[in-house]
Structure 1
């Protein structure tokens, strides 16, 4: 694929609900925040003609469409941004890559390992043509977590021995909350596991620089039925998940996720403990990173609050003066920045995570499912 030099890059967004809104905001603001190639929000796609037309007007897209196949064939579309339910990722992404487009796909990559393998294979072929296949684990672009990754890579924690990751939400606590596609195995693949444990496990691997080698996991469906359009409907995915992970560098990680944790709104917490220091992060306070330097004299040791809003911090060159905090949506703009820079540089691997990373993570998720099916037995990857 050759990138246009005489016009902005055209973006097509597939999906207009929650994630579509977040991605629309990113495409709207990225060129104002960062020095990147110009983009145009060409077309937004959805199955409901009236709803997608309203979304196009509200979110600032030039056009709307109901057939994604026609859209990916258009000459004026260079980037296909996939924000659909997981069961649609594979077909759209593979077709878009075959059509010569760069692709950004929301996480998790697919609903199972077999689908992820096909997507990764398509991305490898497309990469030889210079196309970027990017996976949207947006929390990698939260400045405080990007700083945490830098500090780990610089050895600030020494040898990392232990990681605790939890991602807790409460939007399903009410047993009368209605059925959605996220609660059906055929559309979502899994429940809290794929939805939010995928984020937690991605952060464990990304921050430590280590890969999961063995898994022990358990799943729980706490509310087995939800009100559907035609009466009670069985919930076929998990509401909560737990896993113990052994990592390639010798660290151990515990992961706990739930969409039934009363009072937890969007609580991704990460703790990393090493021989020379420790880090703590909570997404409900996204501009703060807590660091303990264990090499300091014991009388001076203690966790220090780092407010990650300085120009020297990751991504902050595009944003506001010191102390003017960033929010959840800014990470999506940072993500769009990194994708556009990889496209500009002609570097198919210049954006991470890649589809290959998504495949590796899907294998971990499927290992948790396999371990639960075997009463918590250890599963090796």
Structure 2
């Protein structure tokens, strides 16, 4: 195996060096953790390409292509990325039909007047992986917001072929209950940005037609399980980080109900439950600041079907399993500092991004 060190330059060829690997004990046995790409600047997301390459986003506005021992910056990004606060270049999606279309989808904080809003950008990746062409912003939240936090911004492809994007309430708590605004919602759009006619609020006066569910605080993880069900995780305030099973048209309660409290210690809303509002499948108290989420479908039988979620606060990878869903394991190692994103690689390994180490790792059974 090889490692690809990255130096912050516009483009460079990385020297290939031999890898050292460390091990960690898990309930499924000894796992080997291998550094795959190092020297990343505030990495946010990554995606595997069918040809064995990788794309990695950096929040400050860099998109990196990794292939055959080379790391290069990808040209052609939108010129209105706002890299302030929690905003910047965020998630990336390689859709199922990429080999035919070469379309790539990115989420980012888009300049909107004096503020910014979560947006989706679609472009065609060049054959050599170094440039984007025919770029177009196919969705932008309405209205924009001057806050620099709670962009949400995970994007996943549903089993129905539509795109699902998470949007935080941008620190404007009541907006999460206002269907006239995209704040605090999961949206569902077609690949060209158009609105599917069976979205739940299509035709409802004053409602944003892209909204699929609402009442969310700051969803930073999203994944589809083997049955095609969409799940998200979202940040609570002080306590009350949630894992939610997403239902069409449902209200997830923020800020009316929550299992957490405000940072001041004050009570949030009306309590933990209310008629017409969904309960989380699982919640953390204290908060772990969850981010990144994947359902494991690789060769480790004990993990198969389980959800893995990164913790930005406590530097571990959570494994969730069972019905009812519970956190059954915390995987901790020197490499699991502020885990932002996770995915199952084509090799069946559990890949994850550490902000603390600026590194993309692969976890797999030790030989």
In the superposition, the TM-score normalised over structure 1's length comes to 0.30
Structure with more helix by fraction: 1
Which has more radius of gyration?
A: 1
In the superposition, the TM-score normalised over structure 2's length comes to 0.31
